Structure 1
Amino acid sequence: MRQISKLTRVAVGVASVALAATACGGTSTDSGNETKPKEDLGLAIAYDIGGKGDQSFNDAAYAGLEKAEGEFGYKTADIEPTEGETDADKEQRLASLAKQGYNPVIGVGFAYGPAMEAVAKKYPKTTFGIVDSVVEGGNVASLVFAEEQASYLAGVAAAKATKSNTVGFIGGVDIPLIHKFEAGYKQGVEDTSDGKVKVVSQYLTQTAEEGGFSSPDKGKAAAEGQIEKKADVVYQAAGLSGQGVIEAAAKAKVWAIGVDSDQYQQEALAGYKDYILTSALKDVGGAVYALSKSVEDGKPLTGTQVFDLKVNGVGLAESNPKFAEIAGLQDEVNKAKEEIIAGTIKVDTE
């Protein structure tokens, strides 16, 4: 039976991250069926599509690595994906990190699922983590989030901010994970506006290989199309592609809603920040750090770790001063958050 646990508390809204790469290292020797490291190294993360510098999902994971590195003073590694890579490539990457002695080893993104399932069995003394997917294994922690709850709050904000009564949603890839973002957002908009606000939805691609999470130009074109349809608030759950959405919104002087990290705070998006109303936060950095700390403390987390509003694992950013200036927005968001935590509001996931 799968182990389900809730972390007591994690920090939402990790700081903007530096983009300096950290080095890999370590050597190993073979013994029996498992390759055992000569030395214990620290946390290693393998990035999802878009890599470091996406100002969103992957950068949030890197912030967790930076925090662990600074606190525990050990050697870390962060590895970029390659264009058109296969599950075998991901498996080789994870195995290489485990073989070198990194512990824990975290795959950032659901795409690492098949590779992690295979590699974790070969390295039972290494703790593995996967973000946004569930992988069974006695040495695997599945770090999953209630994205729909943060998206509901984003929907509340959109409904209060719109003047045209039309808002947009842009998903990077048409997959169940992103459906959670859309479902929560739509429900938040509908509940807040009593159905008076229309949501225009679009997915950039059917598969990740087509660039749905890594193509700002696709995001920009999609946002421009929604803005032409009178959408004056556009929420994106599209990874690196979301930068194009934010750019288009800023140029049209309408609101964008960011995702995963507080995108108002991201240096690379500073030119557009006045039009980033808020961001639906997903504390990937906190999850990465929590797993690292559990290993450092000698009590590795395993099983499914759920990050939701109750533990501040998801939330809504309030960095933009204009957020507080929109009549009724703050009160509506606070009320919705309380009701979700209390169970009064049940948020859809599809």
Structure 2
Amino acid sequence: MKAFAALPLALCTMLAACSPTAPQPVPLNDTLPKLDLQTLLPAVEENAHCKRAMDAEMLHGVGVALQGEQNYTEAKACLAMAAPSYTRALCFLATNVSLEEGDGPEVERKAFHYQAYAASQNDSCAEFGLYFVYRRGDEATPADPALAQRWLERSALHGNANAQRTLIQHYQQHGQPGTSYAWLKILDERGGAPELPALKAKLSAQQLSEGEALYAALNPQVPNRQQLKDEERHLLVAFYTGMVQLAHPTLFAGITPQQRHDTVKRAVDTALDQLELPTVGKVKAYIVVSQLAQRKDANADLLQNPQIVAVFRDDKLKSAEVLSRAKAIVDQAYN
């Protein structure tokens, strides 16, 4: 049962691949430093973009958007204010501290602690980050390949596609094609893995049997396709909310955070699932136009306006031009 050798002990025991008398590994959370979020987070001040009264989704989204604009100091403030209610913000804080402060043991320690706290809350982004920290080591954290592997597996079990792909490559490189097949099959069901048939064709009967048994044990533990889509959309709503807020700071004035969330989610769902807009800029433009139309007519349905649809589906138009033309159409169509 070589293919199961590197799996977490609970799964390994369930598959009868480990001795029941084997020593229990230390729970992963117990390998982390004991951290208090209030003392962990940096002391920050409000800025022009982020106020403590803002909700966590908005704070996180604006922080991510500012980080993308290389405004690392204000991004840090927004993300730190979001973190108590929005764990993923800590994963971005870990990246932000390196971008803002550079290299060195103290920076590495801060980044590690942000990831460690988020990983203790089952954030798959932070878990994947800990894999890299323990794989390579740094001045603040010694390398630990075995611990790195365990964090990689946990991130994969929590649905992180990058972690799953890394696991697949690891098992292929270490002569465990059955294990690689199991993870590739999981990935295929959740987003597509076109290389699955080729790998399956290379397996022996025993390897395929082991891979199918492992897949059957792993599959219920990994979030399904709909759960992953819901999580992705939740993060995308925050991302686009922040981008729109920076570009159009008065657009969401006068509505509650829940109303804003619902409005942005509907617009993102429409832009991605129905219009299939290909760029971030066009999705952002659709959110703006959708909100402007809602202000004029609460029952406005932009998909029922052929002119609007044509503008957004015109591949020759850039995002700024799409926004300008669509706003003009909304002004004429909704009074």
TM-score (norm 2): 0.25
**More strand per residue: 1 or 2?**
1
Which is richer in helix?
Answer: 2
Higher relative contact order (CA 8 A, sep 6+): 1
